[in-house]
Amino acid sequence: MSDIHTLMDHYDATGLAGLVDKGEVSPGELLEAGIARLEQVEPQLNAVAEKLYDSARQAKLGNGPFRGVPTLIKDLFAPLDGARMSNGSLALGEARMGLDDTLVSRLREAGCQFIGTTTAPEFGTSYTTESTRFGATRNPWDTARSVGGSSGGAAALVAARVVPFAHGNDGGGSLRVPASCCGVFGLKPSRGRMPSGPLTGEGWAGMSTAHAITMSVRDSAALLDITAGADLGAPYAAPWQHEPFVDSLRRPPRPLRIALVEHLTPWTTGPEALAAVRHTAQLCESLGHHVQHASLPVDALAFLDQVFDIIGASTSSYVTLVGEMRGAPVSLEELEPRTRIILREKGNASGARYADAVASIHMLGRRLAAFLTEYDLILTPTLTREPPLIGTLDPFDESLSLATLIDRFHSYSPFTALFNASGQPAMSVPLYWTAGGLPLGSHFAARFGEEGTLLALAAQLEQAQPWAGRVPPVSAQRR
C-alpha cells in the first residue's frame, strides 16, 4: 500500500501522521496528494472559498501530532494568516486579517498543512451552504442536493475523501447538520471548551464554538486534545478534562441511560429520519444501553424567537463593524435576503431584549441539565428529513417573514440549536442511509463537559457499524 493516494484512501489523519512519523511518507507527498484530490472533486462540489496551495508549500511546518496532514479552514469568523476571510459575504470583499485564529494556530503548531478555505453561507445563519458570493456547494452523495450548513464545504470535502478532517464551527448545528447531510462525523464541544480568540470573546452569546468535521471518531478526539482549552483572556472555560479525550475511546462506555426524543413540537420528524433514529436506538440497545422514549421541556418557538434576538443583534453589530473597517457602511444590497430578513425583524433589538434572551438560554441550560439527572444522553434525529434539493431551503426572497424563515430552517433541524444554547456537547453520527442512498445522522447530546461520554459511545457505534467504507459517488478515493 505504498501509493500515496492509496494511503490517503485508507488512513485517517492519525494514521497518516503516524506514517510521517515513521518516515514512510513525507509531508510534501501528503500535501501534493491533498491538492490533487481537491482538484479532482472541486469542479463537481464547489466547496472551496480560496485555494492556498502556494502558501501551504512555503509554510514552516509544525512538529506536532498531525505533522504533514493536509486540511482546510472554514471561511467563517476564523482568520487564517494570508487567507481572505469573506464570511460567505460580498460585503467583506478581499479582506485579509493578517493573523491566525487561536484554534488555527494550534492546528498549525500540530503540523497541519492548510491547502485552502471552505465555503460557508453568509455569516453562518443558514442550514445550507449557498451564497451569492460562492454559489451552491454540492453534496457528494447527490450533487443536486444540499450539503447542509454552515460548515458545508468542510463536510463535502471530508465525505469526498479529499482530506481526513476539516475545521468548522457551530452556532446552531453548523457542524452536525452538514455531518448528517454528508455521512461523516461531527462533534460540537461544550461551551468554553474551545478557544475563540484573539478577536472574539464569545460568538452569539456563547452559542457558537469551533471544532472539526472528521471521518473517524479518533481524529475528532485527537483534535480536541491538541486544540481544546481556554486561550488568553477567555471569558470562561469548560470543566477540566482529567484524561486525554483519545483515552475515552479505549474502553467501551458503561451501560448508558438514553432518552429518545423523536419530535419537537410544533414540527414532526419524517419517516426516513424516524427510521434512522430508531435504527440507532436499536443499535444502542444491542450494545447494552437502555433507551427510553421521552420529550424535552422546551417551547421551541419561544426559544427560537429569543435565539434570533441574539443573532439579530449580533449580526447588526457585525455589519456595522465591517462598515467601519472598510470605511464605508454596508448597504442592504450587499447582503443576502436571509440576512436582510434577520436585520429587518431583529437587528434593532434593545439591550434589555438582548439581556432577556441571554437569560433565557441560560435558563434552558438549567432545565436540560436537570433533565439529564435522569439520563446520561439525549438521542434525537439530527434532521427531520433527507438533504433537500439545492435552492429549496434558503429563502432567496426578503419579503418572507422571520417566522417563515424560522419554520423553514427549524422544521428541518429542530434539535441542534437547543444544545448550542444550553452549552452541552453534542454530535451527529452517520449510521443510516436512505433507500435512495442519502445519509441521515443520529444526534446525541451529553451533560455539560462530558465530551468523553459522547466520544466513547461514538467509538463503540463506529466499531459496531463502520461508516468509512461508504464512499459517495463524487469522491477522490481510488476505486
Cα–Cα–Cα angle for 101, 209, 303, rounded to 5 degrees: 145
Three cell numbers, residue 33: 496528494
Residue 477 covered by a domain: no
138-139 and 165-170 strand pairing: unpaired
Residue-level pLDDT at 2: 59
Contacts of 458 (CB under 8 A, 6+ apart): 185, 187, 217, 220, 427, 429, 444
Answer whether residue 263 shows pLDDT above 80.
yes
Residue 475 covered by a domain: no
Q: Residue count of the chain, please give it.
A: 479
Looking at the DSSP bridge assignments, the partners of residue 135 are 131
Whether omega for the bond prior to residue 150 falls within 30 degrees of 0, making it cis, is: yes
Residue-level pLDDT at 242: 87
Cα(172)–Cα(459) distance, integer angstroms: 24
Residue-level pLDDT at 273: 98
Number of H helices, E strands in the chain: 15, 15
Cα(455)–Cα(253) distance, integer angstroms: 9
Residue of 126, 146, 174, 475 marked active site = 174
Residue 328: which domain range?
Answer: 4-464
Residue 473 covered by a domain: no
pTM for the full predicted model:
0.98
pLDDT tens for each residue of 320-370:
999 999 999 999 999 999 999 999 999 999 999 999 999 999 999 999 999
pLDDT tens for each residue of 145-163:
999 999 999 999 999 999 9
Mean pLDDT, rounded, for 8-31: 97
Among 194, 199, 141, 146, residue whose Cα is nearest residue 167: 194
Cα(398)–Cα(337) distance, integer angstroms: 5
Residue-level pLDDT at 448: 98
The answer to whether 383 touches 180, Cβ cutoff 8 Å, is: yes
Residue of 89, 126, 131, 150 marked active site = 150
Cα(136)–Cα(432) distance, integer angstroms: 25
Residue-level pLDDT at 281: 99
Mean pLDDT, rounded, for 440-466: 98
Cα(458)–Cα(169) distance, integer angstroms: 20
Answer whether residue 396 shows pLDDT above 50.
yes
Strands of the sheet with 113-118, listed across from one edge: 48-51, 113-118, 70-74
The answer to whether 266 touches 406, Cβ cutoff 8 Å, is: no
Residue 74 a catalytic site member? yes
Per-residue pLDDT band at 1 (split at 50, 70, 90): very low
Residue 469 covered by a domain: no
Residue-level pLDDT at 346: 98
Concatenating the DSSP letter of every residue in 189-237 gives PPTTSS--TTT-S-BGGGTBEEEEEESSHHHHHHHHHHH-S--TT-S--
Percent of the chain with pLDDT strictly greater than 90 = 97
CB atoms under 10 Å from CB of 9, counted, come to 18
Residue type, 85: M
Euclidean distance between the first and the last CA atom of the chain, given in angstroms as a whole number: 14
The answer to whether 250 touches 404, Cβ cutoff 8 Å, is: no
Cα(199)–Cα(229) distance, integer angstroms: 16
CA-based max dimension of the chain: 62
- Top-ranked range on mean pLDDT: pick from 104-113, 238-247, 389-398: 104-113
The number of angstroms, rounded, from the C-alpha of 17 to the middle of its chain's C-alpha atoms is 23
The answer to whether 318 touches 343, Cβ cutoff 8 Å, is: no
Concatenating the DSSP letter of every residue in 294-333 gives ---S--HHHHHHHHHHHHHHHHHHHHHHHHHHHTSPPPGG
Return the CATH number at 262.
Answer: 3.90.1300.10
H or E element, residue 358: helix 351-371
Mean pLDDT, rounded, for 269-280: 98
Answer whether residue 307 shows pLDDT above 80.
yes
Three cell numbers, residue 128: 445550507
Residue 393 covered by a domain: yes
- Give the single-character DSSP code of 127: S
Task: State the residue for C-alpha cell 436537570.
Answer: 370
Residue 190 a catalytic site member? no
Residue-level pLDDT at 395: 77
Residue-level pLDDT at 22: 97
Residue 140 covered by a domain: yes
Tell me which of 110-124, 230-244, 313-327, 353-367 is least confident: 230-244
Domain count, the chain: 1
Burial status of residue 73 (CB atoms within 10 A of its CB: 0-12, 13-18, 19 or more): buried
